């Protein structure tokens, strides 16, 4: 039977359901939590042929009426205003009202776009997440952040909108390209490091099997990742704390965002690949600052390598300029008053924010690593 993780965020509680074959049973799972049997599905053109027929059958079996099936082109470029507008217009033209649920079937792009559409259409429609990438199952479908990008930067326009239920079906991961699966796993490893020795050791023991397709390991990782993220988010729903709470979920991301941006979005490093390298760098920086054991960076790096991921900047096919990476990090939104802010570790389960890391220290780390 599927596992259910109850989470309380926003005004209501809802369940994250994790298991196998949930799309087939979507109608029975959704009926008790939705105000009507009217739905629209938003998905992307890659996911639609793979998983929409199963979801559609599961919903129709329980008497749901699918008012519209909206497929956007796959990729980050779909998280924009013109796409949002066309999704909204198609939903409403199909007769969607305030009791019609918006179902996001896809990765984080579809979840963020459809969730934002659901948040703003008629000031809020019921929303359901059916995440089909590991990243979406362990990260973007939890926490209620939705939104789109501007030319000025990613996720600059958005809203908090919690779903009525999340269905994480392990069967959908079987069609995911292995590189996407591994990249999503970086966020699992991040959650392991944030959670503590128990989940981190579990990752070290099962991560490689997980990225090689072990569905039981995937389900465990999704459940434990969602438990960790939901607990962190519950303490700081709107990211009001600059130091604790949701900010800690940025472990590995100051380095990661800089690498991702330098590699050129799309065609370069996947977000998760950059975050994986960022986790190793965050551990290395923590060790250099005397905050964690000298062993931790090596543990992180060997684990990523065991999972088939690039683990260090020097593993990458091209060189990265230290000055360019430093420039990117200074522009990071986490930077305040010129000092570099990093989430650091005293050990697994002991993350904290340091707002006063000397830039020279970061620079010499990057020089030694590159
Ligand atoms: P994505 O949605 O672009 O999916 C990655 C690729 O996999 C796409 O090409 C997609 O078509 C394909 N795909 C999806 N599911 C598939 C399946 N089951 N089989 C085969 N192919 C499949 O990317 P993502 O990594 O899932 O999400 C990234 C997005 O998530 C970014 O826009 C990021 O900003 C956002 N995000 C949001 C939050 C949040 O809290 N809301 C958190 C983290 C990331
Ligand atoms: Zn991330």
Confirm or reject: Cβ of 75 under 6 Å from ligand 1.
Answer: yes
CA distance 352 to 301: 20
Q: Kindly state if the Cβ of 105 falls inside 6 Å of ligand 1.
A: no
**Looking at residue 332, what is its pLDDT?**
75
Rounded to whole angstroms, the Cα distance separating 225 from 249 reads 11
Name the nearest CA neighbour of 289 among 358, 339, 195, 192: 358
Angle ∠(328,329,334) on CA atoms, nearest 5:
125
The three-class DSSP label of residue 66 is strand
* CA 292 to centroid of ligand 1, rounded, Å: 33
Residue nearest to atom 39 of ligand 1 (CA): 140
| 142 CB-contact burial (10 Å; exposed 0-12 / middle 13-18 / buried 19+) | buried
Q: What is the pLDDT of residue 368?
A: 97
pLDDT at 239: 87
Note the ligand closest to the C-alpha atom of 275. 2
Q: At a CB cut-off of 8 Å and minimum separation 6, what does 86 contact?
A: none
State the catalytic residue, choosing from 25, 38, 56, 145.
Answer: 145
Active site residue 206: no
Residue 180 bears catalytic tag: no
The pLDDT, as a whole number, for residue 50 is 98
Residue 257 is a catalytic residue: yes
Residue 323 CA to ligand 1 centre (angstroms): 30
Domain ranges of the chain: 3-173, 178-369
Ligand 1 nearest-atom number relative to CA 134: 26
CATH number of 178-369: 1.20.1090.10
Residue whose structure tokens are 């298991």: 19
User: What pLDDT score was predicted for residue 238?
Assistant: 87
Q: Distance, CA 63 to ligand 2 centroid (Å)?
A: 37
Look at residue 244 in the predicted model and tell me its pLDDT: 86
Looking at residue 137, what DSSP letter applies?
Answer: I
Question: What is the distance between the alpha carbons of residues 298 and 206, in angstroms, rounded to a whole number?
Answer: 18
Helix, strand or coil, per DSSP, at residue 76: helix
Tell me which of 182, 229, 328, 341 is the catalytic residue.
229
Q: Which-ligand-closest: CA of 270?
A: 1
pLDDT for position 331: 84
Q: Per residue of the chain (370 residues), give pLDDT as tens.
A: 899 999 998 778 999 999 999 999 999 999 999 999 999 999 999 999 999 999 999 999 999 999 999 999 999 999 999 999 999 999 999 999 999 999 999 999 999 999 999 999 999 999 999 999 999 999 999 999 999 999 998 999 999 999 999 999 999 999 999 999 999 999 999 999 999 999 999 999 999 999 999 999 999 999 999 999 999 999 998 888 888 899 999 999 999 999 999 998 666 999 999 999 999 999 999 999 999 999 999 999 999 999 999 999 999 999 999 999 999 999 876 555 667 899 999 999 999 999 989 999 999 999 999 8
Question: 161 C-alpha to center of ligand 1: Å?
Answer: 18
CA-CA distance, 308 to 208, in Å (whole number)?
Answer: 8
Global ipTM: 0.99
Q: How far, in Å, CA of 146 to CA of 9, rounded?
A: 14
The pLDDT of residue 338? 64
CATH architecture entry for 3-173: 3-Layer(aba) Sandwich (3.40)
């Amino acid at each position: 039977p599927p596992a259910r993780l109850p989470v309380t965020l926003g005004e209501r509680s809802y369940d994250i359901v994790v298991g196998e074959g949930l799309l087939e049973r979507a109608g029975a799972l959704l009926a008790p939590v939705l105000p009507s049997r009217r739905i629209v599905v938003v998905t992307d053109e890659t996911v639609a042929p793979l998983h929409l027929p199963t979801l559609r059958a599961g919903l129709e079996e329980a008497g749901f009426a699918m008012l519209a099936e909206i497929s956007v082109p796959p990729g980050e470029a779909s998280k924009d205003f013109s796409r949002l507008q066309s999704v909204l217009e198609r939903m409403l033209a199909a007769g969607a009202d305030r009791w019609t649920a918006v179902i996001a079937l896809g990765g984080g792009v579809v979840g963020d776009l459809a969730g934002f559409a659901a948040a703003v259409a008629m000031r809020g429609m019921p929303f359901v997440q059916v995440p089909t990438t590991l990243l979406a199952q362990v990260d973007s479908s939890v926490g209620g952040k939705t939104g789109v990008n501007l030319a000025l930067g990613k996720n600059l326009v958005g809203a908090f909108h919690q779903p009525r239920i999340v269905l994480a079906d392990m069967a959908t991961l079987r069609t995911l390209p292995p590189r996407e699966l591994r990249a999503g796993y970086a966020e699992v490893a991040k959650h392991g490091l944030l959670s503590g020795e128990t989940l981190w050791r579990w990752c070290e023991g099962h991560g490689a099997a997980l990225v090689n397709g072990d569905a039981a390991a995937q389900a465990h990782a999704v459940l434990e990742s969602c438990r960790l993220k939901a607990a962190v988010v519950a303490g700081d729903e709107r990211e009001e704390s600059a130091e604790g709470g949701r900010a800690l979920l940025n472990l590995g991301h100051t380095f990661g965002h800089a690498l991702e941006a330098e590699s050129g979005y799309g065609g370069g490093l996947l977000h998760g690949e950059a975050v994986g390298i960022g986790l190793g760098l965050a551990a290395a920086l923590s060790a250099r600052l005397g905050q964690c054991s000298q062993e931790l960076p090596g543990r992180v790096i060997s684990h990523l390598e065991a999972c088939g991921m690039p683990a260090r900047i020097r593993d990458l096919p091209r060189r990265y300029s230290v000055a360019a990476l430093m420039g990117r990090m200074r522009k990071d939104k986490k930077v305040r008053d010129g000092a570099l802010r990093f989430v650091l570790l005293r050990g697994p389960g002991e993350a904290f924010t340091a707002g006063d890391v000397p830039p020279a220290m970061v620079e010499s780390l990057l020089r030694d690593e590159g």
